[in-house]
Structure 1
Amino acid sequence: MRNYGDILNRPKVFFITFNVYRRRRLLDLDQPKRIILGVLEALRLQAGLKCIGFVIMPNHVHALLWIPAGQSLSFVMHEWKRRSSLLIRTWYTAKAANYFREFGMGRRFWQPKYYPFEIESREKAEEILDYMHLNPTRSQLVQRAVDWKWSSARWYLARRTVGVPIEWVDF
């Protein structure tokens, strides 16, 4: 019989997608995006994560994260969504109530689920990074991926800071 402990207790890389509830465009403004990155940075420090890449779109987030052995992806995602939801709702209420009213407060900020996909090779990680980084161009938000400031494309293509440290990992 296989020793599953070896599989469960090793670092893993995940491509993760999570969406704003009912695909509302509640991430159009810059401050909610800053909050998402701030919470990711806090979790990176708390849980020992490595951010390989990300993109924040108007209604969803993609991230490529390295999760250390012994750390739970479900804990990371629960905390990222919980903390960012609370902070973004608070910010909208205080600073941009009219914008938030247009979409309605809603029962939820994020969709209840997230979509993880384990990445096991450098080639797949590079494919995922390309997919993520081109998302803003496919959505016609910018003409070049490097111009979307809410993406790690700026770090990979121009070595510009992007709000969280970007770290490559060996596969």
Structure 2
Amino acid sequence: MSNKFKAKEPDGVYFVTISVIQWADVLTRREYLEIICDSLAYCQKEKQFTLYAWCIMTNHLHLICSSPSLAYKIRDFKKYTSKELYRAIRNNPQESRKSWLLWLINSAGELSSKHEEYKFWQPGYHPILLDNNQMIEQKLEYLHQNPVKAGFVEEPEHWYYSSARDYAGQKGRLEVVWLV
């Protein structure tokens, strides 16, 4: 297994990407986004997880974060949110794509090496150590510009599910520790 993308520095600040299986646009409903936010807030409060910046898109999320044993925290986050998002999709009478989404998630589980019942997230979390100010600023800009480049909003701070609001001096959805 490659060591290229592993969180080796226990005190390091990392840029992390967590992607939905097949990059499917699943995270399109407020209920699903709130599951992710509530889980991140729990990790902050209970799991020694520091969040510096974040952005949830329709098929992935980016975090700038730090935590002792980051790999285990991300694993637990993904395991919990996978279960909760699967349940939310299954129980949502308004979900017009329910059959397709459940098929996709179930198929990914069956095809996984562990032959799981379902699989929501792609394997890994692609941690990149941010060890200088230039890298921090570049990743922070990239993360906050994601919804703008996707055409969802004209200004980063207009995207509710992002820390861009905090960095623009507004109250955001989650508490963040400023990097710059």
Scaled to the shorter chain, the TM-score interval is 0.7 to 0.9
Residue number in structure 2 paired with 1:3: none
Cα displacement (A) at 1:9:
7.1
**Which deviations, in whole Å up to 9, do the C-alpha atoms of 1:78-136 show, x marking residues without a partner?**
01111111111111111244332233342211001211001112332122111000000
The total of aligned residue pairs comes to 159
Q: Aligned residue for 2:69?
A: 72
**Which residue is 2:116 aligned to?**
none
Structure 1 runs of 4+ aligned residues shifted over 3 Å read none
Residue in 1 aligned with 2:159?
148
- Read off the aligned partner of 2:19 and give its amino acid letter: N
| In 2: Cα distance, 1:9 partner to 1:148 partner | 31
Matches of 2:60 and 2:16, distance apart in 1: 10
Q: TM-score, normalised by structure 1?
A: 0.86
1:81 aligns with 2:78: yes
AA partner of residue 151 (structure 1): S
Whether contact under 8 Å (2:16, 2:62) holds in the other structure is yes
Q: Which residue of 1 aligns with 2:45?
A: 45
Residues 49 and 94 of structure 1: is their aligned pair in 2 closer, same or farther, counting only changes over 3 Å?
A: same
Distance between the aligned counterparts of 2:48 and 2:127, measured in 1? 18
Q: Which protein has the bigger strand share?
A: 1
The residue correspondences of 1:126-145 to structure 2 (distance < 5 A) are: 126-145=137-156
CA distance in 1, matches of 2:178, 2:57: 22
Secondary structure at the counterpart of residue 146 of structure 2: helix
Alpha-carbon contact 1:146-1:158 (below 8 Å) kept: no
**Which residue number in structure 2 is paired with residue 123 of structure 1?**
134
For residue 98 of structure 2, the aligned residue among 97, 100, 113 is 100
Conservation of the 8 A alpha-carbon contact between 1:26 and 1:100: no
Identity of aligned residues (%): 23
RMSD (Å) for aligned C-alpha atoms: 1.7
Provide the C-alpha distance between the structure 2 equivalents of 1:79 and 1:10, rounded to a whole number of angstroms: 17
Find the aligned partners of 1:22 and 1:49 in 2 and give their Cα distance.
27
Ranges in structure 2 where 5+ consecutive residues have no aligned partner: 1-7, 110-118
Structure 2 CA distance for aligned equivalents of residues 88 and 104 of structure 1:
11
Judged with a 3 Å threshold, the aligned counterparts in structure 2 of structure 1 residues 149 and 110 are, in CA distance, closer, same or farther, namely same
TM, length-normalised to structure 2: 0.82
